[in-house]
Amino acid sequence: MRLRLLLLLLFPVLLAGCNPDPNPGPRIDLVGSTSPAFISSDRLSTTPADTFTTRLFAEARDTVNGPALTRLRITVDYTPTRNPYTYPTTTAFDPDLVPKDTLPLVYLDSVLAPGKRAIAFQYTAVTRSTSGQERWTFQIEDAEGGSNKRSYQLTLRNPDSLLTYHRYSMRLQAPRTRKSRSFATLASGLVLPAFALSSSPDQIANRDSVDLVYQPITGGQAGLAAPADPTVTLTGWLRKRTTQFRRTTLDANAFGSADTTPELVAAFDAGTAFTPSTRTGSLSKGQVVAFRTATGKSGLILIEDFPTAPAAAIQAQVRITK
């Protein structure tokens, strides 16, 4: 995922979400574009873990003498929950029994450089991999406490919702520095950038759901590691999950055939533990790694490829028990 703050340039753009602002705080607008594709309004999708990009523009109402912009905040509410749900097969479905997420996930809570009265911001993220809605909200604040926000809702209708396991694609981008590592929560299939795991009070809670980290290996190779692995330096994290990884002899066909909870559990039990078991070491294309999370969920990761554009990454398929 990529985060870029740019100086606002005066060029023609098509802005969406331009309803009258509810208060006299700073202006904020989202771009609507088809080429390149920028999302600015509600969308319906059938592609789990799809990538989308948003560009926003924000400015003080008086760009010369008005209060400076001070804070940019991006949150997402997942409805009814961001984790997969095991739907009943012998009884009627009761939506009231689906666990609900009560708090939004804070992706970005950034203090802006002093004196800035206009910004352009481009943000790329991944949609949910379970059926439901996610409402993304972009909020800007100024030095006098004024604020305004724009939002849109993304809806996913996943045809695999009735499966007893969860499956999705995952792309973990290689870090440019230790502060730009990619993290993943395996149960939900969400990939989180490092800035979503900062020390702000609302983002510390995000750390508790992280199961693995992209780990660069000397020589340009790549691996996966648990947050609790001793080689993963996560300063200030009070709780670090201990995900266990095991080698398997499975290939891509065997990975595709593992489609029940007992088979996923058995694949981990039959695997050989890495040394230590909290990291995989160098991965190879076509390799299948078994894992068990700190919450007891078992699964498999198929390493599909190591793409280099637009940035180096691990491309993988994941299957995990619900």
CATH number, residue 128: 2.60.40.2550
- 65 lies in the same domain as 98: yes
Find the domain containing 40 and state its range.
26-160
- 172 lies in the same domain as 149: no
- 193 lies in the same domain as 107: no
- 230 lies in the same domain as 301: yes
- 175 lies in the same domain as 154: no
Give yes or no for residue 15 having a pLDDT over 90.
Answer: no
pLDDT value at residue 261: 94
Query: Where a domain ends, among 130, 160, 190?
Result: 160
In a domain, 226, yes or no: yes
- 155 lies in the same domain as 207: no
In a domain, 21, yes or no: no
- 143 lies in the same domain as 208: no
In a domain, 170, yes or no: yes
In a domain, 115, yes or no: yes
- 150 lies in the same domain as 203: no
Query: Where a domain ends, among 92, 125, 160?
Result: 160
DSSP 33-81: EETTEE--S-EEE--TT-EEEEEEEEE-SSTTTSPPEEEEEEEEEEES-
Q: Going by DSSP bridges, is the β-strand pair 147-156/43-45 parallel, antiparallel, or unpaired?
A: parallel
- 150 lies in the same domain as 169: no
Tell me how far apart the alpha carbons of residues 291 and 278 are, in angstroms, rounded to a whole number. 9
Query: Where a domain ends, among 141, 160, 179?
Result: 160
Q: What is the pLDDT of residues 27-38, one digit of tens each?
A: 999 988 888 889
- 289 lies in the same domain as 302: yes
Number of Cβ atoms within 10 Å of the Cβ of 243: 26
- 276 lies in the same domain as 188: yes
Of residues 23 and 308, which shows the higher confidence score? Answer: 308
Of residues 98 and 133, which shows the higher confidence score? Answer: 133
Tell me how far apart the alpha carbons of residues 152 and 77 are, in angstroms, rounded to a whole number. 11
In a domain, 12, yes or no: no
In a domain, 96, yes or no: yes
Give yes or no for residue 251 having a pLDDT over 70.
Answer: yes
Count of domains in the chain?
Answer: 2
Give yes or no for residue 6 having a pLDDT over 50.
Answer: no
In a domain, 80, yes or no: yes
- 253 lies in the same domain as 308: yes
pTM for the complete prediction? 0.86
pLDDT value at residue 22: 52
Smallest Cα–Cα separation from 149: which of 25, 12, 54?
A: 25
Q: Collapse the DSSP code of 114 into the 3-class scheme (helix H, G, I; strand E, B; otherwise coil) and give the result.
A: coil
Q: What is the pLDDT of residues 179-214, one digit of tens each?
A: 778 999 999 999 999 999 988 888 888 999 999 999
Tell me how far apart the alpha carbons of residues 265 and 258 are, in angstroms, rounded to a whole number. 10
- Tokens representing 207 are 């750390």
In a domain, 171, yes or no: yes
- What length is written for the chain? 322
pLDDT value at residue 20: 47
Place 221 in a pLDDT band, splitting at 50, 70 and 90: very high
